[in-house]
């Protein structure tokens, strides 16, 4: 069997720097913001609260991989520029999804981390292309990817030259329909024990239900996750996408405080 760059025995644990935030150094990292980048004023308001709460990185999708082509597809480059302005104003690095290699160059000046979404985890052409850059990559687990397939996806990016990869467990599709996905925290433990990459957890997509987000955030940190990515909004019911799983900013503040206390205990 080949020796993999992701394996523990290939070197020390990897930490990834996004702006001034380091992912994988033992301190929990919080990434939050709406599913989709929305209007400028709303994003400014959200950014200000996120900074106060202690969130490290702001998220927001501008290229949205929606199941239906008739749903809101995102504000594209305009949205990325809005997110960039918010990030500059509140000193928050930004992460956003890129779906098409042709969009990388034009977005690069405005962003600090590229998200590869669940639907693109198997897009090996895109993964290899990302190896040509140094920008940190947040690699979400494919909807029905095994841990091994997910790690090989990371290997595609790393073996092409970019070692700044952070994994994100976002739940997998199972026979269960109560939740949108089944949040597989086993994967977090397996990865922390055997592999070098940092791994964060997205309990928003992992559950699809906002009332499950706080408890599963604590569970994720308790089992060793390096951070959380949580969808939040000032008025979650009005969010342009993923409203049902989006929490308000007070709820987010509660999670950040509890996680920081939990971290002292473990």
Long-range contacts of 111-115 (CB under 8 A, 24+ apart): 111/80, 111/83, 111/84, 111/135, 112/18, 112/19, 112/57, 112/87, 112/136, 113/18, 113/57, 113/137, 113/138, 113/166, 114/138, 115/59, 115/61, 115/140, 115/168
Q: In the bound complex, what is the minimum distance in angstroms from residue 37's beta carbon to ligand PEP?
A: 11
Q: In the bound complex, what is the minimum distance in angstroms from residue 84's beta carbon to Mn ion?
A: 20
- Residue 186 to residues 66, 182, 254: CA-CA distances in angstroms? 27, 11, 25
- Decide: is 35 part of the binding site for Mn ion (CB under 5 A): yes
Tell me which of ligand PEP, Mn ion, none is bound by residue 180, counting a contact when its beta carbon lies within the kind-specific cut-off of 5 to 8 angstroms: none
Residues composing the chain = 266
Instruction: Pick the closer one to ligand PEP by CB: 65 or 215.
Output: 65
Considering only 46, 242, 247, 256, the residue that binds Mn ion (CB under 5 A) is 242
Instruction: Pick the closer one to Mn ion by CB: 24 or 227.
Output: 227
Rounded distance between C-alpha atoms, residue 203 and residue 211, angstroms: 10
Tokens representing residue 181 in the block: 């996905």
Tell me which of ligand PEP, Mn ion, none is bound by residue 170, counting a contact when its beta carbon lies within the kind-specific cut-off of 5 to 8 angstroms: ligand PEP
Instruction: Pick the closer one to Mn ion by CB: 112 or 202.
Output: 202
- Decide: is 225 part of the binding site for Mn ion (CB under 5 A): no
Rounded distance between C-alpha atoms, residue 209 and residue 263, angstroms: 24
Indicate the helix (H) or strand (E) that contains 29. strand 29-33
Tell me which of ligand PEP, Mn ion, none is bound by residue 188, counting a contact when its beta carbon lies within the kind-specific cut-off of 5 to 8 angstroms: none
How many CB atoms are located within 10 Å of the residue 265 CB? 6
Tell me which of Mn ion, ligand PEP, none is bound by residue 198, counting a contact when its beta carbon lies within the kind-specific cut-off of 5 to 8 angstroms: none
Radius of gyration of the chain (CA): 17
Instruction: Pick the closer one to Mn ion by CB: 96 or 187.
Output: 96
Size of the site for Mn ion (CB under 5 A): 2
- Decide: is 29 part of the binding site for Mn ion (CB under 5 A): no
Q: In the bound complex, what is the minimum distance in angstroms from residue 229's beta carbon to ligand PEP?
A: 7
Residue nearest to ligand PEP (CB): 117
Q: Which of 242, 75, 266 is nearest to 170 (CA)?
A: 242
Residues at the site binding ligand PEP, with contacts judged by CB under 6 A: 35, 61, 65, 117-119, 140, 170, 205
Binding site for Mn ion (CB under 5 A): 35, 242
């Amino acid at each position: 069997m080949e020796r993999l760059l992701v394996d523990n025995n290939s070197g020390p644990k990897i930490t990834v720097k996004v702006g001034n935030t380091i992912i994988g150094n033992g301190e929990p990292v919080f990434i939050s913001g709406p599913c989709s980048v929305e209007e400028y004023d709303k994003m400014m308001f959200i950014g200000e609260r996120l900074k106060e709460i202690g969130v490290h990185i702001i998220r927001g999708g501008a290229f949205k991989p929606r199941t239906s082509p008739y749903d809101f597809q995102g504000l594209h480059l305009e949205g990325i520029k809005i997110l960039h302005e918010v990030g500059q104003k509140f000193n928050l690095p930004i992460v956003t999804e890129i779906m098409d290699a042709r969009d990388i160059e034009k977005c690069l000046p405005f962003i600090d981390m590229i998200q590869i979404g669940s639907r693109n985890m198997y897009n090996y052409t895109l993964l290899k292309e990302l190896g040509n850059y140094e920008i940190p990559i947040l690699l979400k687990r494919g909807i029905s990817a095994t841990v091994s397939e997910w790690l090989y996806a990371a290997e595609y990016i790393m073996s092409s030259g970019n070692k700044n990869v952070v994994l994100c467990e976002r739940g997998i599709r199972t026979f269960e329909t109560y939740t949108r996905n089944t949040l597989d925290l086993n994967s977090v433990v397996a990865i922390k024990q055997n592999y070098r990459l940092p791994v964060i957890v997205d309990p928003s997509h992992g559950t699809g239900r906002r009332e499950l987000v706080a408890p599963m955030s604590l569970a994720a940190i308790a089992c060793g996750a390096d951070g959380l990515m949580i969808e939040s909004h000032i008025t979650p019911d009005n969010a342009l996408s993923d409203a049902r799983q989006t929490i308000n900013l007070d709820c987010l503040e509660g999670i950040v405080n509890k996680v920081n206390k939990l971290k002292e205990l473990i």
